[in-house]
Copies of this chain bind each other. A is one copy, B any other.
Amino acid sequence: MAKNTKARHDDLRKRLIDLAEKTVEAEGLSALRARDLANKAGCSVGAIYNVLTDMNTLTLHVNGRTFKRLGIAVAASIADKADLPPRDRLIALSLAYLDFANNNFKAWTALFDIEMTAGPDVPEWYQNALNELFRHINGPVREIYPEMGKIDSDLMTRGLFSSIHGIVLLGLQRRISGVPQEEMARMITLILSNLSK
């Protein structure tokens, strides 16, 4: 029965993450409540804590899935575009990022709404997921700036990602007036098109 318990635990854990993912996608991270979740899963509140250490780690699991989907969507955007000029590949990547954030707004928001006060460092899988995104950007960057040293081209890569992220973030949160949805794509294109050299 030790084996049996583990199987039941694994099963419950998976169901909880599935349900949490649906909730986050539909209503956002703030709608993820322990009692509601237990209710939907047909278990007690306590059962959640038999299987997951925290509500926070549950969110981490959901975010892990979101990051995976994000990575796939971004990679797909340049899968058949290897022959395009590097600037156009950067634009394609960025628009895919915008598109994903827009179509999965609440799940995408949850990626950055989570607490990360524990220590100076972020979970490893989070770093890995970001590094995966960086890899895609780094190729075009090195093509555009072949003379640039590795340190600077890495900085440029992270800087470009952060820039696009900032545009998408402030735009989708409607924190900046006069940036309707359809203009965000143009904003991204404008900035990336004007990268010199």
Contacts and interface: CB of A to CB of B under 8 A. Distances in A.
8 contacts: A116-B175, A121-B174, A122-B175, A155-B186, A156-B191, A158-B178, A158-B187, A159-B167
Interface string A47-58: 000000000000
Contacts of A126: 175
Q: List the 5 closest A-B pairs by CB distance, nearest first.
A: A166-B166, A196-B196, A163-B163, A159-B187, A162-B167
Task: Determine the interface band of chain A, counting residues with CB < 8 A from chain B.
Answer: 35 or more
Interface centre among A169, A176, A183 (most CB of B within 10 A): A176
A155 B183 contact: yes
B162 A171 contact: yes
Copies of this chain present:
2
B155 A190 contact: yes
A187 B156 CA distance: 6
A160 to B, nearest CB: 7
A83 interface: no
B176 A163 contact: no
Interface string A115-134: 01000111000110011000
A194 B177 CA distance: 27
A3 interface: no
A173 interface: yes
Contacts of A163: 162-164, 166-167, 191
A170 B152 CA distance: 18
Interface in A106-157: 112, 116, 120-122, 126-127, 130-131, 145, 152, 154-156
